[in-house]
A and B are shown apart, each in its own frame.
Chain A
Amino acid sequence: MSGRAGSADHPANAKRFLTDPARASWHDQTLWQIRQKRDQAARAVPEWEELRSLAARIKQHTLSRLPDYLERFADNAERLGAHVHFALDAAEHNRIVLGLLQERGVTRVVKSKSMLTEECRLNPWLERHGIEIVDTDLGELIVQLRDEPPSHIVMPAIHLKREDVGALFQERLGSDGNSDPAALTEVARGYLRQKFLSAQAGITGVNFAVAETGGIVVCTNEGNADLGTSLPPLHIACLGIEKLVPRAADLGVLLRLLARSATGQAITAYTSHFHGPRAGGELHIVLVDNGRSQIRAEQAHRSALTCIRCGACMNTCPVYRRSGGHSYGTHVPGPIGSILAPLYAAFNDPAAASADASAASRYASLPHACTLCGSCSQVCPVKINLHEQLLSLRQGERLAHTTGAIELDRQPILPASRKKRLLSALGGWLLASARRTAFAGAVARFVGRHAPALLRLGPLAPWFATRELPQLPARSFQQLYRERRKQKGGAA
Chain B
Amino acid sequence: MSSRARLLAALRSTPCPAVDLPALPDGFTRYDDLQAQLGQALEAAKATVITLAPGADLATTIRQLPRVSAARAACSLVAGVELGPLPRDVAECAALDVLVFGADFAVAENGALWVPEPVGVPRAALFLAQHVVAVVARDHLVHDMHDAYTRLGTSFGRYGSFLCGPSKTADIEQALVIGAHGARSMTVVLA
Contacts and interface: CB of A to CB of B under 8 A. Distances in A.
A296 interface: yes
Interface stretch (A2-10, A120-128, A185-193, A446-454): A185-193
Contacts of B170: 155, 221, 263
Contact of B24 (A161, A249, A274): A249
Interface in A38-59: 45-47, 50, 54, 57-58
A221 B7 contact: no
A137 B163 CA distance: 17
A486 interface: no
B22 A223 contact: no
A404 to B, nearest CB: 10
B174 A230 contact: no
B161 A271 contact: yes
Interface string B39-79: 00100110000000000000000000000000000000000
Contact of A165 (B8, B109, B172): B172
Given A157-B172, A158-B174, A289 B7 contact: yes
A436 interface: no
B159 A222 contact: no
Contacts of B148: 252
B12 A67 contact: yes
B183 A223 contact: yes
Interface in B162-183: 162-175, 177, 179-183
Interface stretch (A276-284, A405-413, A414-422, A466-474): A276-284
B84 interface: no
B20 interface: yes
Contact of A185 (B14, B144, B177): B177
Contact of B172 (A181, A197, A246, A289): A181
Contacts of B177: 181-182, 185
Interface stretch (A84-92, A101-109, A330-338, A387-395): A84-92
A252 B144 CA distance: 8
B18 to A, nearest CB: 6
A88 B150 CA distance: 35
A33 interface: yes
B157 interface: yes
Given A57-B19, A57-B22, A185 B159 contact: no
A157 B153 CA distance: 38
Interface in A203-255: 212-213, 215, 221-224, 226-227, 230-231, 241, 246, 248-253, 255
B36 interface: no
Nearest to A222: B180
Contacts of B94: 193, 197
A267 B164 contact: yes
Given A252-B149, A278-B123, A215 B156 contact: yes
Contacts, number: 234
A271 B164 CA distance: 9
Contacts of B11: 66-67, 70, 293, 296
Contact of B146 (A34, A139, A185, A252): A252
Given A223-B180, A250-B24, A162 B158 contact: no
B3 A86 contact: yes
| Size category, A interface | 35 or more
B163 A269 contact: yes
A133 interface: no
A330 to B, nearest CB: 21
A311 interface: no
A278 B158 CA distance: 7
Interface string A287-298: 001000100110
Nearest to A401: B14
A60 interface: yes
B8 A71 contact: yes
B154 A248 contact: yes
The 5 A-B residue pairs whose C-beta atoms are closest, nearest first, are A223-B182, A266-B110, A139-B171, A222-B180, A230-B124
29 contacts: A47-B29, A57-B21, A61-B19, A61-B22, A74-B4, A87-B3, A92-B3, A137-B171, A138-B169, A138-B171, A157-B171, A162-B172, A223-B180, A223-B183, A227-B128, A248-B153, A248-B156, A251-B149, A255-B145, A256-B110, A265-B45, A267-B110, A269-B182, A270-B163, A270-B164, A273-B159, A273-B160, A293-B7, A296-B14
